[in-house]
Amino acid sequence: MSQNIADLMIQTLDQAGVQRIYGVVGDSLNGLTEALRTSKTMRWVHVRHEEAAAFAASGESQVTGELAVCAGSCGPGNLHLINGLFDAQRSRTPVLAIAAQIPSSEIGGGYFQETHPENLFRECSVYCEMVSDPAQMPYVLENAIRAAVGRRGVAVIVIPGDILLAKAPARAPSPPAGLLPKAPRVVPAEPELQALADLLNAGKRVTLFCGRGCAGAHDALMQVAQALQSPIVHALGGKEFVEYDNPFDVGMTGLIGFSSGYAAMHACDVLLMLGTDFPYKQFLPTGIKIAQVDLRAEQLGRRAKLDLGVVGDVNATLQALLPKLDGKKDGKHLEDSRAHYQRARKTLDDLAVASPGKKLIHPQYLARTISEAADDDAVFTFDVGTPTIWAARYLKMNGKRRLVGSLVHGSMANAMPQALGIKTAQPQRQVISLSGDGGFSMLMGDLITLKQENIPAKIAIFNNGVLGFVALEMKASGFVEVGTDLDNPDFAAMARAMGIHGIRVEDAADLPAAVAEWLAHPARPCWTC
């Protein structure tokens, strides 16, 4: 029996190591879902909303580092993918989206559910092409996979349902070596390294500012900080890679950061930005020397006026830089910054406690309690809004834990579906979603997916009855808050109605025991307070 295009797509994705596709079925996807039904290596993960499918694929990819796939049927089905795909694209993680299209003979005639996905998805992708002839396959799909993996972003294949069912050409998929390009190791040229060393050696008070580009550079970073006697400040994206086992750590900067991080950057005479595209210019110092190291040349100097910009992998660059550093003996800048950090850390920790004699549960206490009880290699997802604050300030990193949020796109409703995807891909790990009541309620229908697909992720809902960060921003801007109140249901009772173990905590004294029960429960506990 000859194979069709959908069969060839599944074979190609199998060569790329894909094990699942997240989505909602529809008639324009019938060829694909039938091919999946007979596949021995890949399966369909049935979500309740395509936005959750895109977030799930993004979450899986961010933790595994590998290609993840989602799909949507023609028209409204694949349109629902867009928000989650924007998050994946701006998180620079490889995701392939399969956007089904109406019958090819009807395109251009205003047919039922007709849209033009090849135009709609261009802004949130590194590759977006339509397959209009079976002869294009698997060539176009292979190009999409290479683009997503090689450029660390979203690739979109638009394909009509009738093309999926068409006879496939006699062409085998490329082997993995030709599909999955390895990340390059980019080391700056010798003159650039020497110029960077000269700038740092001339500085009296050097501060390092680190982002997610510091992944894998922890050891080299510690050695550079030691040589320069430099405090290390991190952006939220750098927290999981920088904060742990770090005697130079002085906290995060930014609106939700630490005063000590901000102060260490403004007290220096040389700032070295490493793997960060921190967008909030108002927190960056002026009137000092600034150097930046980034793998992407387009990011150099777009946030601050640079004295030196260097294209390179952070780890490789720091390793090559180390022998050129003179080493500093004056540690006063580091000592002052560390003392400030200890004061700031204590102030925040003092807020993360139960109030004696009061039932009120502070969100800081909840986040800290979860962090202390979670597994050493737990993965935490967190919603945009106040859960991001509590994650940034109270989740402790150790080099094995992971943090996943919507850090650049800034979408609500990301945490629970990201946890869904991560737990599906790594069932052996503890995966915890710190969901806001606003974000959770946007996509709470996919709580059913956890039950139906037997995905035992841990969901915690910060039930404060308000869009908290939005209300905070309104007040900070001098506006009376409006439209921020949330009249929430009993989320725990709702979970129980779905067959999910639901826990509701209303007294701070009960919190530690409730967290322990929640984390130990073998199924899908949903927990709210």
Q: How confident is the model at residue 389, as a pLDDT? A: 97
**Phi, psi angle pair for 171, to nearest 5°:** -145, 125
- Tell me what pLDDT residue 525 has: 61
Indicate if 190-345 has the same CATH topology as 5-178.
yes
Cα 436 to Cα 141, 180, 227, 416, 528: the distances in Å are 37, 36, 42, 10, 10
**112 given a catalytic annotation:** yes
Closest by CA position to 32, among listed 79, 99, 78: 99
pLDDT recorded at residue 529: 58
Q: Which fold has domain 5-178?
A: Rossmann fold (3.40.50)
What confidence score (pLDDT) does residue 472 get? 87
Our answer to whether residue 34 is catalytic in this structure is: no
Q: Give residue 475's Cα distance to chain centre.
A: 28
The domain defined by 190-345 carries CATH number 3.40.50.1220: yes
Catalytic one of 86, 258, 440, 469: 469
Q: Is 11 one of the annotated active-site residues of the chain?
A: no
Q: Where are the domains of the chain?
A: 5-178, 190-345, 351-520
Question: Which pLDDT belongs to residue 16?
Answer: 96
Unique residue bearing structure tokens 């869904």: 420
Say if residues 254 and 228 touch (Cβ distance below 8 Å): no
Identify the pLDDT of residue 172: 84
Cα 108 to the center of its chain, rounded Å: 37
- In the set 140, 242, 384, 466, the catalytic residue is 384
Specify burial of residue 132 (Cβ count, 10 A radius: 0-12, 13-18, 19+): middle
Q: Are 352 and 365 in contact (CB under 8 A)?
A: yes
Compute the distance between CA of residue 20 and CA of residue 70 in angstroms, rounded to an integer.
Answer: 8
Task: Give pLDDT < 50 ranges for the chain.
Answer: none
Residue 476 is predicted with a pLDDT of 87
- What CATH fold (topology level) applies to the domain 351-520? Rossmann fold (3.40.50)
